[in-house]
C-alpha cells in the first residue's frame, strides 16, 4: 500500500487530529463506488484487498475522495496482486479521477479505450504489469497528464506521435517494453524525465530529445545520434555529407549559376510576401488582444478563486495529501510549496527524493511506538527508508526545525540519525535509514517458542555495548539526553551486532510533556513520572533496565501500572535480596555450555547501580560503558581468546577483538 494511503487511512481513522472538525453527515460518491466495486469484482486479486461495503468508499484502502466526499479522485492499488485484463467500463467511470496507480500487479491485455475518458487524470502509473498491445493514441486526450508510466510491460508498436498533445507532461516512462519503429519528435517543453530504454526502437534520436542522457535510450535495437554514438553516415542529412555529383563538373557549375539566379528571384518575392503576411498577422493579433482582455480578467479571477480553495483544503494540501497536484501548488502558491517540502539534514544519507516520491512509495506499518507510527517505505526506484509519523508534536515550526538541524548533525556509527523531516500543521514526518534486521526487542522476545535459537550471552553483550557507545556519544560529544532508551529502539544492521544503532533519540523536547506515554513506562526512571523530563541520569536508568532485560530475558513492564507485566528492577531486587542466585538469569542463557556466569553477575551489578532509585546514586553513562568494557575484557584476559560460543552468534566473524581494549589490563 502506498505510504500516502496509509497516512490517509490513519487520518480518516481520526485517531488524533482534533483540528479537523468531524463531519457528522457524510456524503458518498455513489456512482464511483459502483464503478470501483465493478472493477474489483472483475479483476481477481489478493484477499488482503478487502473493501468493506458497509463503510464509505472514500475510506477504502487505496481510495481517496475530494474534500466534499462527492467523487473519487485517487485510486492507488500498487502490488495488490491484481490479475488479468483491465475490464472496460469500470475505471473509465471514475470521471473525477486524478491519480490512477495500478503498478506492480499482473494486469494483462490492452489498455481499455475508456481510460481515455478520465479527463482530469494527472498521473497514470501502470508500470510493472503484463499489459500488451500498442500504446493507444487516445491517451493523448488526457491532456492534464503530468506523469505517464507504462514501463516494464509488454507494449508493442510505435511510440505514438500524439503524445505531443500531453503538453503538461513532466515524466514519460516507456522503458522495458517491446516498442519498435523510430522515435517521434517529442517537443514537450515541460518534460523532465524521459525513458525509452530497453525497447526495440531504431533510427536516430530526434533533436528535441537530445537533452536526455544516454541511459534514457539504452538497450534498443538500433538507436543512434544525440547522446548515443552518431548514426551511420547513411542516415545523415544530404546537406551534411557531400553528395556524389552527376555529370561533368563544368555542366554542374553552369547549372548552378542559373539556379542561383532563380533562387535569388524566388527569395526576394517570398521575402516581400512574408513581410505582408507579418503585417497582417500583427493587425489581427492587436484586434484579438483587445477583445480577449476582458476574458483574461475573468480567467485570472477564477484562478485566484481556485487557489483559495487549495488554501482552504490546505489541511490536506499541507500534508502533501494531494501530492499529485503538486504542480498546481507550486504553480499557484509557490511559497506554500517551498514551505512544505521534505528537508534533508546533515549528510542526508545520500538520499535524493522528494515528498511526492515518498508519498507514492509503497509502505507497510513497522510498528506503533510512543512517539508515533513507523512505516517502511519502498520508493519507486527501490530505495527503502523508514518514515516515522510523529504524533502529539507540540513544538512550533521554528523550534522543530532548529532541533532537527541539531539532531541531523549527530553522527555516530551506533546512532540512527534522522535524515530528513517534513513539518506542516497536521503532519510531522521523520525519514530514517531502514535497518533490515529488526530491533533488539524482536530479536530477544520475538523468537520464543518458535524454532529459532535464542540469543547467546556474547551476542547480547555486543549489542548492549554497541547501543551503549551510541548513548555515550550522545551524552558526551552531543551533550544530548536520549529520553527513550529501550530495546525496541536498538536496531540491528545485517550481520554485524557491533554496529547496532540506537534510534529515536532526543525527540522528547518536541512533544507535549503532559501527554501520556505509557509505552515508555517499563524503562522510565521513577522521578520522570513526576518531572516528565528525561535527564542524563534517567537515560542511565533506562539503560540499566535494558541490561536487566538482556540478563533475565524478560520484557520490562509495558503498561505503566499494568498487572500482567513486571517492574523489572523491582523484581530483580526482590530476587537478589532473598538470595544471590542465578534465578534471575534467562533460562535460555543457561543452556549454553560456556556462558560466562561470572560476567553476567558483574553486569547485573552494573545494571543494579544504573537502576538506583535516587538519580544521584546512578553512575554517569561514560562510567557505565567503561565498567562494561572492563568486565568483558577482563573475562577475555582470564581465558585468553574466547572460543566462539556454540550458539548462533550472529556476525560472530568479528569476534571479541572488535571490543576496544583501551581499558584492558
Ligand X SMILES: *[C@@H]1O[C@H](CO)[C@@H](O)[C@H](O)[C@H]1NC(C)=O
Contacts to ligand X from residues 408-427, by CB under 6 A: none
User: Cβ of residue 80: shortest distance to ligand X, in angstroms?
Assistant: 18
Q: Which of 627, 236, 285 is nearest to 464 (CA)?
A: 627
Q: Which is nearer to ligand X, 194 or 536 (CB)?
A: 194
125 is a contact residue toward ligand X (CB under 6 A) = no
Candidates 121-129, 172-180, 357-365, 640-648; binding stretch for ligand X (CB under 6 A): 172-180
Cα 573 from Cα 559, distance rounded (Å)? 20
User: Cβ of residue 136: shortest distance to ligand X, in angstroms?
Assistant: 10
User: Cβ of residue 194: shortest distance to ligand X, in angstroms?
Assistant: 7
User: Cβ of residue 42: shortest distance to ligand X, in angstroms?
Assistant: 20
Q: Which is nearer to ligand X, 222 or 305 (CB)?
A: 222
Contact 314, 332 (CB under 8 A): no
Candidates 82-90, 174-182, 324-332, 583-591; binding stretch for ligand X (CB under 6 A): 174-182
* DSSP collapsed to 3 states, 412-426: CCCECCCCEEEECCC
Instruction: Report residue 389: phi and psi, to 5°.
Output: -100, 105
Among 74, 177, 197, 484, the residue binding ligand X under the rule CB under 6 A is: 197
C-alpha cell at 477: 560529544
Among 215, 531, 574, 661, the residue binding ligand X under the rule CB under 6 A is: 215
User: Cβ of residue 163: shortest distance to ligand X, in angstroms?
Assistant: 10
Cα 199 from Cα 381, distance rounded (Å)? 19
Candidates 197-205, 306-314, 398-406, 496-504; binding stretch for ligand X (CB under 6 A): 197-205
Across 142-216, the runs of DSSP E, i.e. the strands, are: 147-149, 154-157, 171-173, 178-182, 193-195, 200-204
User: Cβ of residue 81: shortest distance to ligand X, in angstroms?
Assistant: 16
C-alpha cell at 87: 475490464
Q: Which residue has the cell 532541533?
A: 403
Q: Which is nearer to ligand X, 182 or 476 (CB)?
A: 182
187 is a contact residue toward ligand X (CB under 6 A) = no
Q: Are strands 490-493 and 496-502 parallel, antiparallel or unpaired?
A: antiparallel
Q: Which residues neighbour 49 within 8 Å (Cβ) at sequence distance 6 or greater?
A: 40, 61, 62, 77, 80, 81
Q: Which is nearer to ligand X, 12 or 601 (CB)?
A: 12
319 is a contact residue toward ligand X (CB under 6 A) = no
Edge-to-edge strand ranges of the sheet holding 178-182:
83-85, 106-109, 130-134, 154-157, 178-182, 200-204, 222-224
Q: Which is nearer to ligand X, 74 or 197 (CB)?
A: 197
Q: Are strands 171-173 and 193-195 parallel, antiparallel or unpaired?
A: parallel
Helix (H) or strand (E) holding 132: strand 130-134
Cα 599 from Cα 354, distance rounded (Å)? 49
User: Cβ of residue 572: shortest distance to ligand X, in angstroms?
Assistant: 47
Q: Which of 102, 126, 121 is nearest to 43 (CA)?
A: 102
Burial class of residue 164 (count of CB atoms within 10 Å of its CB; 0-12, 13-18, 19+): middle
C-alpha cell at 541: 536508568
Cα 124 from Cα 400, distance rounded (Å)? 36
185 is a contact residue toward ligand X (CB under 6 A) = no
Among 56, 110, 182, 307, the residue binding ligand X under the rule CB under 6 A is: 182
Among 187, 213, 230, 446, the residue binding ligand X under the rule CB under 6 A is: 213
52 is a contact residue toward ligand X (CB under 6 A) = yes
437 is a contact residue toward ligand X (CB under 6 A) = no
User: Cβ of residue 123: shortest distance to ligand X, in angstroms?
Assistant: 17
User: Cβ of residue 122: shortest distance to ligand X, in angstroms?
Assistant: 15
Q: Which is nearer to ligand X, 234 or 396 (CB)?
A: 234
Q: Which is nearer to ligand X, 223 or 550 (CB)?
A: 223
129 is a contact residue toward ligand X (CB under 6 A) = no
Q: Residues binding ligand X: what is the number (CB under 6 A)? A: 24
Contacts to ligand X from residues 131-170, by CB under 6 A: 132, 137, 140-141, 143, 154, 162, 165
Among 127, 216, 459, 489, the residue binding ligand X under the rule CB under 6 A is: 216
CA dihedral (653, 655, 658, 659) in degrees, to 10, reads: 150
180 is a contact residue toward ligand X (CB under 6 A) = yes
C-alpha cell at 511: 512533544
Q: Which residues neighbour 560 within 8 Å (Cβ) at sequence distance 6 or greater?
A: 518, 521
Q: Give the length of the chain.
A: 665
Q: Which residue has the cell 479527463?
A: 119
202 is a contact residue toward ligand X (CB under 6 A) = yes
User: Cβ of residue 143: shortest distance to ligand X, in angstroms?
Assistant: 5
Candidates 118-126, 194-202, 596-604, 634-642; binding stretch for ligand X (CB under 6 A): 194-202
Contacts to ligand X from residues 521-540, by CB under 6 A: none
User: Cβ of residue 55: shortest distance to ligand X, in angstroms?
Assistant: 8
User: Cβ of residue 138: shortest distance to ligand X, in angstroms?
Assistant: 6
Contact 490, 499 (CB under 8 A): no
177 is a contact residue toward ligand X (CB under 6 A) = no
Q: Which is nearer to ligand X, 213 or 513 (CB)?
A: 213
Site residues (vs ligand X, CB under 6 A): 52, 54, 130, 132, 137, 140-141, 143, 154, 162, 165, 175-176, 180, 182, 195, 197-198, 202-203, 213, 215-216, 222
Amino acid at each position: 500500500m502506498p505510504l500516502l494511503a496509509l497516512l490517509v487511512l490513519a487520518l480518516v481513522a481520526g485517531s488524533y487530529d482534533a483540528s479537523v472538525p468531524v463531519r457528522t453527515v457524510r456524503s458518498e460518491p455513489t456512482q464511483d463506488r459502483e464503478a470501483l466495486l465493478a472493477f474489483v469484482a472483475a479483476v481477481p486479486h489478493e484477499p488482503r484487498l478487502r473493501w468493506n461495503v458497509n463503510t464509505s468508499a472514500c475510506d477504502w484502502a487505496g481510495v481517496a475522495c475530494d474534500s466534499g466526499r462527492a467523487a473519487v479522485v485517487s485510486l492507488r492499488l500498487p502490488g495488490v496482486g491484481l490479475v488479468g485484463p483491465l475490464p472496460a467500463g469500470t475505471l473509465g467511470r471514475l470521471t473525477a479521477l486524478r491519480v490512477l496507480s495500478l503498478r506492480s500487479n499482473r494486469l494483462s491485455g490492452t489498455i481499455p479505450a475508456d481510460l481515455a475518458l478520465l479527463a482530469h487524470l494527472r498521473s497514470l502509473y501502470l508500470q510493472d504489469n503484463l499489459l500488451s498491445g500498442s500504446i493507444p493514441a487516445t491517451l493523448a486526450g488526457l491532456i492534464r497528464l503530468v506523469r505517464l508510466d507504462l514501463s516494464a510491460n509488454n507494449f508493442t508498436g510505435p511510440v505514438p506521435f500524439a503524445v505531443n498533445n500531453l503538453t503538461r507532461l513532466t515524466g514519460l516512462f516507456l522503458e522495458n517494453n517491446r516498442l519498435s519503429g523510430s522515435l517521434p519528435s517529442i517537443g514537450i517543453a515541460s518534460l523532465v524525465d524521459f525513458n525509452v530504454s530497453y525497447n526495440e526502437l531504431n533510427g536516430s534520436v530526434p533533436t528535441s530529445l537530445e537533452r536526455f542522457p544516454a541511459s534514457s535510450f539504452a538497450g534498443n535495437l538500433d538507436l543512434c545520434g544525440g547522446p548515443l554514438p552518431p548514426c551511420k553516415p547513411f542516415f545523415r542529412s544530404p546537406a551534411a555529407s557531400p553528395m556524389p555529383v552527376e555529370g561533368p563538373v563544368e555542366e554542374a557549375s553552369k547549372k548552378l549559376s542559373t539556379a542561383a539566379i532563380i533562387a535569388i528571384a524566388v527569395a526576394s518575392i517570398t521575402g516581400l510576401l512574408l513581410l505582408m503576411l507579418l503585417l497582417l498577422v500583427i493587425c489581427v493579433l492587436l484586434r484579438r488582444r483587445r477583445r480577449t482582455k476582458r476574458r483574461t480578467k475573468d480567467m485570472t479571477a477564477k484562478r485566484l478563486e481556485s487557489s483559495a480553495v487549495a488554501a482552504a483544503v490546505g489541511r490536506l494540501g499541507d500534508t502533501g495529501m494531494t501530492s499529485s497536484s503538486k504542480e498546481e501548488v507550486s504553480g499557484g502558491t509557490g511559497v506554500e510549496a517551498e514551505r512544505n517540502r521534505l528537508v534533508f539534514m546533515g549528510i542526508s544519507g545520500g538520499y535524493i527524493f522528494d515528498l511526492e516520491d515518498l508519498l507514492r512509495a509503497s509502505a507497510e506499518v513497522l510498528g506503533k511506538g510512543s512517539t508515533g507510527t513507523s512505516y517502511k517505505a519502498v520508493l519507486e526506484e527501490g530505495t527503502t527508508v523508514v518514515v516515522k509519523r510523529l504524533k502529539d508534536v507540540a513544538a512550533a515550526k521554528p523550534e522543530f526545525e532548529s532541533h532537527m538541524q541539531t539532531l541531523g548533525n549527530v553522527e555516530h556509527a551506533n546512532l540512527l540519525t534522522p535524515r530528513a523531516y517534513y513539518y506542516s500543521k497536521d503532519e510531522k514526518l521523520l525519514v530514517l535509514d531502514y535497518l533490515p534486521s529488526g530491533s533488539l526487542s524482536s530479536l530477544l522476545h520475538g523468537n520464543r517458542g518458535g524454532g529459532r535459537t535464542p540469543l547467546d550471552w556474547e551476542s547480547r553483550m555486543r549489542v548492549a555495548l554497541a547501543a551503549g557507545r551510541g548513548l555515550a556519544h550522545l551524552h558526551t560529544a552531543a551533550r544530548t539526553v536520549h529520553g527513550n532508551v529501550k530495546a525496541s529502539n536498538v536496531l540491528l544492521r545485517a550481520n554485524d551486532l557491533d554496529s547496532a544503532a540506537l534510534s529515536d533519540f532526543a525527540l522528547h523536547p518536541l512533544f507535549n510533556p503532559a501527554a501520556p506515554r505509557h509505552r515508555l513506562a517499563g524503562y522510565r526512571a521513577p522521578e520522570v513520572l513526576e518531572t516528565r523530563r528525561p535527564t542524563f541520569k534517567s537515560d542511565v536508568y533506562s539503560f540499566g533496565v535494558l541490561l536487566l532485560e538482556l540478563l533475565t530475558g524478560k520484557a520490562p513492564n509495558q503498561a505503566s501500572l499494568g498487572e500482567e507485566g513486571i517492574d523489572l528492577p523491582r523484581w530483580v531486587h526482590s530476587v537478589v535480596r532473598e538470595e544471590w542466585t542465578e534465578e534471575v538469569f534467562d533460562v535460555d542463557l543457561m543452556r549454553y555450555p560456556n556462558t560466562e556466569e561470572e560476567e553476567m553477575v558483574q553486569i547485573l551489578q552494573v545494571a543494579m547501580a544504573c537502576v538506583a532509585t535516587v538519580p544521584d546514586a546512578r553512575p554517569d553513562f561514560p562510567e557505565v560503558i567503561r565498567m562494561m568494557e572492563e568486565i568483558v575484557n577482563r573475562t577475555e584476559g582470564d581465558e585468553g581468546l574466547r572460543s566462539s560460543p556454540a550458539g548462533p552468534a550472529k556476525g560472530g566473524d568479528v569476534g571479541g577483538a572488535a571490543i576496544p581494549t583501551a581499558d584492558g589490563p
